[in-house]
Amino acid sequence: MTVRRRDVLACLAAMSDAETGRTTTVAALSAALDANEATVAEHVTRLAAGDLAVRAPDAGVRVTVTGEELLELGAESVVVVPPSPDDAGGDGGE
């Protein structure tokens, strides 16, 4: 089964909580989505790069407030582009 990143984010939001810090695991997400664990792990890595998920020190993962808010918008297709290292600290002009 092909799993979309948005599906992983939605499942992550259902199985974790940004406010309480409740986490889940990639294995649990994979089982819930009936998807390959390596594929789900890659999606989680990309979600974390876009500040939509965060990995916990105990190997858990949880949705962020930003991830929850993005889902609340109800968009079926979203492109998140993390800032490049060149953008850090700049004002965008000269």
pLDDT band for position 2 (cuts 50, 70, 90): confident
Closest listed residue to residue 28, CA positions, set 18, 20, 40, 17: 40
Q: Where are the domains of the chain?
A: 5-72
Decide yes or no: CATH 1.10.10.10 for domain 5-72: yes
What is the predicted pLDDT for the residue at 48?
94
Q: Residues 12, 53: contact at Cβ < 8 Å? A: yes
Alpha carbon distance 54, 34 (integer Å) = 22
Alpha carbon distance 35, 42 (integer Å) = 12
Examine the pLDDT at 90 and tell me if it is beyond 70: no
Find how far residue 78's CA is from the centre of its chain: 12
pLDDT digits (tens, 9 = 90+) for 41-66: 999 999 999 999 999 888 899 999 99
Give the single-character DSSP code of 87.
G
